[in-house]
Structure 1
C-alpha cells in the first residue's frame, strides 16, 4: 500500500520543486517506486517529476476537477511505494470562490486524499518567527495535517539551532535543514522554470539535489510520517473530450504547454496523436482530422516561426478543410502578427485576426470558466470549459467572432474571449476539464 505526502510551503519560490525532485530521486535511488503529482494548473513541473522518477506525472486541480476525476488520476499511484504531490503557491492559496471541489489550494488535495503536508520553510531574515508561521499553517484548517518541516537556505549552524528550538517548542518536527547550495538552483524565465526538455543536464542536477538532500534530511523520518493510502475507486474517468479521432499536435520548444492528463484522456477515448514541429518547418499530418497548437514560448521564436513558410502555408492549407485550434501561444501564432519584447513585429499564420504584443508586457493570470458561444474542436456551443490563463502578451486586435463568454474565478467577465474564424479557433486559456 503506497504512502502519500504533500510538499508545500508558505509561499512560492521557497524550494518546493527542488525538494520534491530531490526526495523523489533519493527514494528512487533506494529502490522505491515514486509517483509524483502536481497540485494546481502548472504544465511545466510534471516533466521535471517524470525526469526524477521515471514515471509520468499529472496535475490534480480542485477548482477545475471533481473528486471523481482527481481519484481517477491519483489511482496511478496504486503500485508506488511513495506518492508525492507538489503544491503550488502557498499551502492555502487558492481563489476566493469555490470551484468544482475546492478553491485550487494545495490544502484541498491534502485534505481530500488524507496526505500529511511536509512544509518547506525558508527562514531567511528571521529565526523564531519561522516557527510561528509553521504553527499558524498547522492550525489554520482542521482537516489538513502537518507532518513536519524542512528548512531551506539556513544561514549558519547558529541560525538553524534557533529555528529548530522554536519549532520544537511548538511541537513541530524538523526533518532537516538545507544550507544554501547554488549548484541545485533550477533556471527560470518569465512563465516559470525553464522546461525540463530544454535542460541537457537536468538528470545531473536532480542527482546532485538528491545527494544534497539525503545528506541533510532524515529520509526515513519523512517516510514514517507519510500516510498509508488506498485509492478509492473512481466513479468516472477523465472529464475531457478529444478534439478529433486523429490529432496533429504541434510539439517543440515553442509549443510544449500541454497538461499530461489531457493527452492521456484523448488517447483513452481512442484518439491518435501525431506530433509535428513548427520550428523545424514541419506541417500537420495530412491524415489528421484536427490540428492543435498548444501554448509555449512563441514569443522567443517569433522570427523563426515567421520565416518558416512551409509550416505557415501548410497550416493554412490544413485549415481549409479541417479545424485548427490554438491555446495561448498557439492562439497567438494563429493570429495575424506577434510583436516581440524588442518591438519587432513578426507575421504569423493569419488564420485569425488576433494581433498581440510583448513590447509592453502585462501579466494575465488566473482560472477561467468559458461558456462557448460557438463550437470548437471537441466541444459544442453552450459547453462550459474550465481552464487557466497565464501569459504576458497584450491584445492589439481581436476582431473575429468571440469564441466564448469567459469569466474569471470571481465571476467577472474578462476581455480575453478567444476567437473563431472559419475552421480556426483559439483561446488564451489552457483547457483543464469540461463541466458536465
Structure 2
C-alpha cells in the first residue's frame, strides 16, 4: 500500500521543490518506487519530478479540477511505494473565491487525500518564531494534519538548536536541518522558470540534493510519518475532448508549456500526437487534422521564428483548411508581430492580428475561467474552460473577434479575451480542464 505525503511550506522560495526532488531520488536510490504530483498550476515542476523518479508527474488543482478528476490523476500512484505531492506557494495560499473543489491551495489536496504535510521551514532571520509559524500552520485548519518539519538554510548549530528546542516544545517533530548549500539551488531565468530539459546537469543536481538531504534528514522517520493510502477508484476520468484525431503539436525550446495531463487525456481518448519543431524550421504534419502551439519562450527565439520560412509558410497553408490553436507563447506566434525585450520587432506568422511586446514587461498571473464565444479545437461555443495565465508580455493590438469572455478567479472580466480569425484561435491562458 503506498504511503502519501504532501510537501509544503509557509511561502514560496523556501525549498519545496529541492526537498521533493531530493527525497524522491533518495528513496528511489533505496529501491522504492516514488510517484510525484504537483499541487497547483505550475507546469514546470512535473518535468523535474519525472527526472528524479523516472515516472511521469502531473498537476492536481482544486480550483480547476473536480474531485473525480483529481482522484483519477492521483490513481497513477497505486503501484508506487511512496507518493509525494509538492505544494505551491504557502500551505493555505489560494484564491479568494472557491473554484470547482477548492481555492487551489495545497491544503485542499492534503485534506482531500488525507495525507499529512511535511513542512519546509526557512528560519533565516528568526529562531523560536519559526516554531510559532509551524504551530500556526498546524492548527489553522482542522482537516489538515502536520507530519513534521524539515529546516532549510540553517545558519549554524546554535541556530539549529534554538529552533529545534522551540519546535519540540510545540510538539512538532523535526526530521532534519539543512545548512546553507548553494550548489543544489535550482537556477532561474527571466520568468523565474527553467525547465528540466534545459539543464544538461539535472541528474547530477538531483543526485547531489539527494546525497545532501540524506546526510541531514532522517529519511526513515519521514517515511514513517507518511499516511498509508488506499486510493479509491475514480468515478470518472478526465472527460477531455481532444482537439482532433491526429494532432500536430509544436514541441521544442520555444513551445513546451502544456500540462502533461492534457496530453495524456488526448492520447487516452484515442488521439495521435505528431511532434514538430518550429525552431528547426519544421512545418506541421500535413496528415494532421489540427495543429496546437503550446506556450513557452517565443521572445527568446523571435528572430529565428521570424526567419524560419518553411515553418511559417507550412503553418499558414495548414490553417487554410484546418484549425490551428495557440496558447500564450503559441498565441503570440500566431499573431502579427512580437517585440522582444530589446525593443526589436519581429514578424510572426500573421494568422491572427495580435501584436505583443516584451519591451515594457508587466506580469499577468492567475487562474482564468473562459466562456467561449466562438468554437476552438475540441470545444464548442458556450464551453467553460479553466486555465492559468502567466506571462510578461503586453498587448499592443488584439483586433480579431474575441474568442471568449474571460474572468479571473475573483470574477472580474479581463482584457485577454483570446482571438479567432478563420481557422486560427488563441488564448493567453493554458488550458487545465473544462467544467462538466
| Structure 1 length-normalised TM | 1.00
- For 2:386 and 2:181, the matched residues in 1 are separated by 39
Cα deviation, 1:395-428, whole Å, max 9, x if unaligned, reads 0000000000000011100000000000000000
- For 1:191 and 1:369, the matched residues in 2 are separated by 23
Secondary structure of the structure 1 residue equivalent to 2:255: coil
Residue 188 of structure 1 corresponds to: 188
- For 1:333 and 1:154, the matched residues in 2 are separated by 45
Residue 52 of structure 1 pairs with residue 52 of structure 2: yes
Once the 2 structures are TM-superposed, how far is the Cα of residue 182 of structure 1 from its aligned partner?
1.2
Residue 330 of structure 1 corresponds to: 330
Cα deviation, 1:264-314, whole Å, max 9, x if unaligned, reads 000000000010000000010010000000000111111111111111111
- For 1:266 and 1:190, the matched residues in 2 are separated by 31
Where do 4+ consecutive residues of structure 1 move more than 4 Å? none
Cα deviation, 1:179-230, whole Å, max 9, x if unaligned, reads 1111101111233331100100100000000000000000000011000001
Residue 342 of structure 2 corresponds to: 342
Cα deviation, 1:357-410, whole Å, max 9, x if unaligned, reads 000000000000000000000000010000000000000000000000000011
- For 2:174 and 2:296, the matched residues in 1 are separated by 38
Secondary structure of the structure 1 residue equivalent to 2:411: coil
Once the 2 structures are TM-superposed, how far is the Cα of residue 240 of structure 1 from its aligned partner?
1.7
- For 1:378 and 1:408, the matched residues in 2 are separated by 22
Cα deviation, 1:221-276, whole Å, max 9, x if unaligned, reads 00110000011111110132100000000000000001000000000000000100
Q: Over aligned residue pairs, what C-alpha RMSD do you find?
A: 0.5
Residue ranges of structure 1 left out of the alignment (5+ in a row): none
The residue correspondences of 1:34-433 to structure 2 (distance < 5 A) are: 34-433=34-433
| Structure 2 length-normalised TM | 1.00
Residue ranges of structure 2 left out of the alignment (5+ in a row): none
- For 2:29 and 2:406, the matched residues in 1 are separated by 46
Could you tell me whether the CA contact under 8 Å between 1:191 and 1:390 is conserved in 2?
A: no
Residue 15 of structure 1 corresponds to: 15
- For 1:260 and 1:208, the matched residues in 2 are separated by 27
Secondary structure of the structure 2 residue equivalent to 1:411: coil
Secondary structure of the structure 2 residue equivalent to 1:192: coil
- For 2:239 and 2:122, the matched residues in 1 are separated by 37
Secondary structure of the structure 1 residue equivalent to 2:248: strand
Could you tell me whether the CA contact under 8 Å between 1:186 and 1:193 is conserved in 2?
A: no
Secondary structure of the structure 1 residue equivalent to 2:321: coil
Secondary structure of the structure 1 residue equivalent to 2:288: coil
- For 1:305 and 1:3, the matched residues in 2 are separated by 46
- For 2:415 and 2:209, the matched residues in 1 are separated by 43
- For 1:281 and 1:341, the matched residues in 2 are separated by 23
- For 2:285 and 2:174, the matched residues in 1 are separated by 54
Provide the aligned length of Structure 1 versus Structure 2. Answer: 436
Secondary structure of the structure 1 residue equivalent to 2:386: strand
After the TM superposition, which of the residue ranges 191-200 and 10-19 deviates more from structure 2? 191-200
- For 1:40 and 1:235, the matched residues in 2 are separated by 22
Could you tell me whether the CA contact under 8 Å between 1:152 and 1:180 is conserved in 2?
A: yes
Could you tell me whether the CA contact under 8 Å between 1:18 and 1:209 is conserved in 2?
A: yes
